[in-house]
Structure formats: C-alpha cells, structure tokens
Amino acid sequence: MPSVLLTGASRGLGLEFARQYAADGWHVIGTCRDPAGATELQAICRQAAGRNDGKIEIHALDAGDFAAVAALAERLSGVALDVVIANAGIWGPRSMSAEQIDAPGWAETFRINTMAPLALAGAFRPHLERGTQRKALALSSALASIGGNSSGGLYAYRSSKAALNAAWRSFAVDHPQLIAAVLQPGWVRTDMGGPGAPLAPAQSIAGLRRVIAGLTPANSGGFYSHDGSTHEW
C-alpha cells in the first residue's frame, strides 16, 4: 500500500487530498491542529475503514511548530513514505502595503508558508528515502510567480510563496535522491479561494495527483500547475 503524509488535512485542498488518496487505496497520514474538531476528516477515515480500501490516520500537528514536526517524525521513525505534501498555508496580512508594513504578520506568513514546509521536508526526508516513490511536494501558488505578477498587491503571501519556491528548488538540488517539486493548484473554491473560484477541490486535486504520479527525477526542482503544465517562475 503506497503512503502519503500531508499537512493541513482537515479542510480545503488537504481534505480533498486525503479523500482521494484513501479512496485509491493509499495509507494516508493526515495532520491538522485539532483532530477532535476535524469532523470531515474523521468521516473520511471511517468511510475508508468501512470500504476496506485505503486507510487514514490523523495526527495533531501545528505545522509551524518545528519541534512538534521533529517529534512527529521521531514517532513515525519506522514508517516508509512514498509522498510527502506540505499543504498547510495562510494568506497573511492581505491589506499590507509599502506604506503600512505589518512586520509580525509578514514574519508569521513566512514562518508558515516558507519555513514550515522546508522543516517538514527535512524532518521526513529519511522516511521518504525508505519509500518507493520518494516524492516531496509543496503547495505553492500562481501568485508566487514573479514573471506572472501583473496585478501587484498581496505582498506577504506572494513573497512567502516565491521564497518557498526558491527554498524547494534548493532542497531538490541538495537531495537528488528525492523528487522534489512545487505545485500550484489553480484558483479553487476553498476557504482561501472563495466561492467564486472556477475550480472545485475535486478537480484541482485530481489534476495535482496526476501531476504527482507522473513526476520523474527529470522533473525535480520544477514548478507545475494542476493541469500538468510547467509554471512560470
């Protein structure tokens, strides 16, 4: 049974990742800050057990607590992982401007969107090396693209995701035994994307899963969209 570990599994894209991977027969290790309140994820866990296809286990984790990430990696030290997905992220201060810098908010956005994914990759690198597929993915955004930025604004979010792209590229170079890539899911109808987004979570994640399944060592260090195209840096 292939295995995947993902952060932010209780809602949005993370929840849909868990749903689809479990339905496809995977062992899903999902993390979230409040497992007791993750009713939809718990329901998927029960459904998977009832169908006897994949399985889901849920662990409490604040992705921004690096000591907790390391502790979880230690608790799962005997587990081999095929795929790790750093999915958890935040918008940060959306109204921040050059005239009004929200320093604490900007720093927190970098901590969650940039530092936390790299900490996750570092902590679970040994688990991936024991796996078969050895794929480390981070959820980025089209808004991270410097070349594609024609609308401005969203300083904290854009910069944190652009920095994530740079960090992940370095991680890919430093660890050629893994396949490491950043993915952008499109504009999706989630709490972050809003109700007017054109993509349903099921569409976006189905596309991302096809991209993940098709990644080879030649793709390591790349930036890919949910439709399989290479995204502009």
Question: What pLDDT, in 10s, does the model give residues 53-63?
Answer: 668 899 999 99
pLDDT at residue 91 is higher than 70: yes
- Would you give the DSSP letter of residue 183? E
- The predicted structure's pLDDT at residue 98: 96
Per-residue pLDDT tens for 105-132? 999 999 999 999 999 999 999 999 999 9
pLDDT at residue 194 is higher than 90: no
Query: Which residues, including other chains, have CB under 8 Å from residue 22's CB and lie 6 or more apart?
Result: 28, 44, 45, 47, 48, 53, 54, 55, 56
What superfamily would CATH give domain 3-225? NAD(P)-binding Rossmann-like Domain (3.40.50.720)
Q: Alpha-carbon Rg of the chain, whole angstroms?
A: 17
Order of strands across the sheet that contains 55-60: 55-60, 27-32, 3-6, 83-86, 135-139, 179-184, 223-225
Distance of CA 220 to the CA centre of its chain: 16
As a whole number, mean pLDDT of residues 182-188 equals: 90
pLDDT at residue 147 is higher than 90: yes
Per-residue pLDDT tens for 150-160? 999 999 999 99
As a whole number, mean pLDDT of residues 202-217 equals: 97
Crossing angle of the two packed helices 116-130 and 66-75, in degrees rounded to 10: 10
Sequence ranges of the domains in the chain:
3-225
- The predicted structure's pLDDT at residue 46: 81
Give percent of the chain with pLDDT exceeding 70: 97
Mean pLDDT of the chain: 94
The pTM of the whole model exceeds 0.85: yes
pLDDT at residue 50 is higher than 70: no
